[in-house]
C-alpha cells in the first residue's frame, strides 16, 4: 500500500476532461469528518461540502457517501441533494433516480426496534452509555463508559438481543457497537450495487474511486480490487486491501480539493 500519489487528481481530471466518467465513493466519519467524542458533533466542513457539490454537478461525475449512520441523519449532515447516500452500512440507499432498502433487513425492522427500545431502557443504569436508534439498526456508544461498566454494558446488550428475537450481527467500530440485521450485505456489496447502476446511467467508460477509514471499508477495498482506485484513511499500519493510504481528514480535504479543481476545470475546457 502506497502513500497517495500527487498525480491522482490530474489523472482523474484528464480522464473526465477526455470524456470519461467518474464515480467517487467515500465514508463519512473519520474520512470526511474527524472522529469526535460525541457523534452528534461530527459536522461536515463547508469547504468539503462545496467540493462534493462541485464534483456532483460536473457532467459525467457521480458522488456517493457510504456510512454506518442512519440514512436520514447522513443526508441531513452532508446536505447536498445531488449526492447518492447509503446509510446503515448500505442497507438503505437513496439518490437521484435511485432507491434501495434491503428486503431481508426490512423484514427484521420490528425486531430491531424492540432491541433499540430495550437498550434505551437499560442505558440510564450505565453511566456514559448512549443509544442511537436507527431505522434498520441501533448503535451503542461507550466512549464515555468507564472500564468497570463495559462488562455490564455487554450484559445489557446480550440480554436485549436474546429476549427480542430476530437474527442480528454486531459490528465493533470506534468506541461503538452496532446492532444490524443478520443479512449478507456490507459496504463492499453496496459499493458494487451503486457502481453497477452508474455503469448503466453513465454511457462513458467509468473510473471508480473509494475512500474510507474503518475496518468495515475493507469490505469495499477487497471487493473492488482491480475494479477501483481505493484509499485507506488513517495513520495506522494495519494491513489493508486499499491501493493507497493517506494520514487523515486534513489530507482527504486537500485531495478532494485537488480532484474537484482538476475535474471541473478539465470538463469545462
27 classed as catalytic: yes
Neighbours of 182 (CB within 10 A): 13
Catalytic residue among 14, 27, 70, 110: 27
Neighbouring residues of 234: CB distance < 8 A, sequence distance ≥ 6: 30, 213, 245, 247, 248
Question: Which residues share a beta bridge with 24?
Answer: 63, 209
Burial of 108 (0-12, 13-18, 19+ CB in 10 A): buried
CB distance 218 to 236 below 8 Å: no
Question: Which residues share a beta bridge with 95?
Answer: 98
Burial of 22 (0-12, 13-18, 19+ CB in 10 A): buried
So which residues are the catalytic ones?
27
Amino acid at each position: 500500500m502506497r502513500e497517495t500519489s500527487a498525480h491522482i487528481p490530474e489523472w482523474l481530471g484528464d480522464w473526465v476532461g477526455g470524456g470519461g466518467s467518474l464515480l467517487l465513493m467515500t465514508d463519512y466519519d473519520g474520512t470526511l469528518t474527524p472522529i469526535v467524542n460525541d457523534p452528534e458533533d461530527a459536522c461536515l466542513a463547508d469547504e468539503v461540502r462545496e467540493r462534493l457539490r462541485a464534483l456532483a454537478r460536473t457532467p459525467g461525475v457521480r458522488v456517493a457517501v457510504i456510512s454506518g449512520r442512519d440514512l436520514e441523519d447522513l443526508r441531513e449532515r452532508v446536505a447536498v441533494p445531488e449526492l447518492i447516500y447509503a446509510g446503515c452500512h448500505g442497507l438503505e440507499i437513496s439518490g437521484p433516480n435511485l432507491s434501495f432498502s434491503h428486503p431481508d433487513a426490512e423484514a427484521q425492522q420490528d425486531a430491531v426496534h424492540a432491541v433499540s427500545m430495550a437498550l434505551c431502557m437499560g442505558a440510564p443504569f450505565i453511566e456514559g452509555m448512549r443509544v442511537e436508534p436507527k431505522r434498520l439498526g441501533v448503535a451503542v456508544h461507550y466512549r464515555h463508559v468507564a472500564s468497570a461498566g463495559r462488562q455490564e454494558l455487554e450484559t445489557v446488550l446480550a440480554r436485549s438481543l436474546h429476549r427480542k428475537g430476530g437474527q442480528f450481527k454486531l459490528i465493533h467500530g470506534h468506541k461503538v457497537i452496532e446492532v444490524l440485521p443478520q443479512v449478507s450485505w456490507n459496504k463492499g456489496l453496496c459499493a458494487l450495487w451503486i457502481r453497477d447502476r452508474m455503469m448503466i446511467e453513465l454511457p462513458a467508460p467509468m473510473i471508480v474511486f473509494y475512500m474510507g477509514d474503518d475496518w468495515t471499508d475493507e469490505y469495499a477495498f477487497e471487493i473492488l480490487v482491480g475494479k477501483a482506485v481505493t484509499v485507506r484513511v488513517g495513520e495506522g499500519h494495519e494491513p489493508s486491501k486499499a491501493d493507497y493510504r493517506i494520514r487523515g481528514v486534513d489530507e482527504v480535504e486537500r485531495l478532494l480539493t485537488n480532484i474537484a479543481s482538476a475535474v471541473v476545470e478539465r470538463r469545462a475546457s
